Amino acid sequence: MPALPLDEAGKYVAGAYLVFLALVLVYVAIMAAKLQRIQRELRSLAALADERRGGGAER
Amino acid sequence: MRGLRTLSAATVATVVAGFALVFFYAPLDADQGFIQKIFYLHVPLAIAALVGFMVAAVHAIRHLRTNDPVHDARSYVSIHISVIFGVAVLVTGSIWARASWGKWWVWDEPTLVSFLIVFLLYATYYPLRYAIEDRDRQARYASVFAITAGAFVPLNFLAVRLAESLLHPRVFATAEGGMPGSMWLTFGVSLLGIGLLWLTLVRFELVAKDTSAQLSRLRRALEGSPRPVPAGGESRPSTPQPAPDLQANRAV
């Protein structure tokens, strides 16, 4: 006879796997935020490079 | 970035296959029933976290030997991901304990308390590391910590195995029949999936740090080089730079 009946054990098993899924999703969200920051930085650098190229051409 | 896409695909496929085996193939445990399914997640996470701590120690040794910041970055990221896995181990273990023993935590159980000690030990890595401002000293002290704590992990594991377990089941026990082949297969695939997940997250983190470091270098190069002076005005002063991240320029 198992320690817990299926209906009782199911919520604990679901809870454990959902916690794991939540941790992975939180990590993915943090990485997505980092990626956005990197993208913003890259855009500003590209703008800076364009500005320099434009300034150099004027001179 | 090489191979990261393949690694990610392999990780997703293995984790999905592992979970499918857990719920559709592995038989119900005669003693614990359905609650034993947590074991296929909890134990691989614990193994991945502990092995990750030891991997961090190996990178720390390489860092002290070569003084290459790449190894310091790898050691840092290995500890970082292993600590996250450690959180998952503690939470899934508590859920299993609640269902199986009726308590979220048992203080006189050596397996639980020893893992908590290892986890708390590594939780002190961050304040230790960031309490030191000088980057070289910071990396060296962090490496010494990673080696010392990394050596503690197998010793701790051995001590727990030698100790008499009060309640916590022994996963790799050879006595009492052990697990049938179908459970071993499911456990093996789950372990492989979680191991690949650890490796993928480490690689992702290293790629992110490497990209940030390259961007900082690019910004310094662009803002540091002589600028053309616009007509009728001075060139804009360069913006102050935040402290650079880990110098993981060749980390991936």
Query: SS3 for chain B, per residue?
Result: CCCHHHHHHHHHHHHHHHHHHHHHCCCCECCCEHHHHHHHHHHHHHHHHHHHHHHHHHHHHHHHHHCCHHHHHHHHHHHHHHHHHHHHHHHHHHHHHHHHHCCCCCCCCHHHHHHHHHHHHHHCHHHHHHCCCCHHHHHHHHHHHHHHHHHHHHHHHHHHHHCCCCCCCCCCCCCCCCCCHHHHHHHHHHHHHHHHHHHHHHHHHHHHHHHHHHHHHHHHHHHHCCCCCCCCCCCCCCCCCCCCCCCCCCCC
Token reading at B137: 């000293």
Cβ contacts of B143 within 8 Å, gap of 6 or more: B60, B61, B63, B64, B72, B75
Contacts of A12 in chain B (CB under 8 A): 35, 38, 95-96, 98-99
Cβ contacts of B126 within 8 Å, gap of 6 or more: none
Nearest CA in chain B to A40: B215
Contacts of B219 in chain A (CB under 8 A): 41, 45, 48
CB atoms within 10 A of CB B213: 20
Q: Which residue has the tokens 């089941």?
A: B169
Q: Is the pLDDT of residue B22 over 50?
A: yes
Q: What is the rounded CA–CA span in Å between residue B80 and residue B189? A: 24
Give the angle B80-B145-B132 at the CA atoms, nearest 5°: 85
Contacts of A13 in chain B (CB under 8 A): 34-35, 37-38
CB contact under 8 A, A49 and B222: yes
pLDDT tens digits, one per residue of B200-246: 999 999 999 999 888 888 888 888 765 544 444 444 444 333 333 55
CB contact under 8 A, A12 and B201: no
Query: What's the pLDDT band for B168 if we cut at 50, 70, 90?
Result: low
Spell out, as residue ranges, where chain A has pLDDT lower than 70: 1-7, 55-59
Instruction: Choose the weakest-confidence range: B32-36, B53-57, B73-77, B124-128.
Output: B32-36
Chain A: closest CA distance from residue B30 (Å) = 6
Nearest CA in chain A to B23: A13
Token reading at B192: 């492989």
Chain A: closest CA distance from residue B101 (Å) = 9
CB pairs under 8 A between A and B: 95
DSSP A3: S
- Name the β-bridge partners of B33: B29
Average pLDDT estimate for B24-30: 86
Q: What is the rounded CA–CA span in Å between residue B187 and residue B47? A: 12
Sorted by where each begins, the domain ranges of chain B are 13-26+38-165+181-199
Token reading at B60: 């720390």
CB contact under 8 A, B41 and A16: yes
pLDDT tens digits, one per residue of B193-202: 999 999 999 9
Average pLDDT estimate for B34-53: 93
Q: What is the rounded CA–CA span in Å between residue B170 and residue B168? A: 7
Contacts of A31 in chain B (CB under 8 A): 204-205, 208
pTM, 2 dp: 0.82
Q: Which of the two residues, B65 and B250, has the higher pLDDT score?
A: B65
Residues B59, B78: contact at Cβ < 8 Å? yes
Q: Is the pLDDT of residue B52 over 80?
A: yes
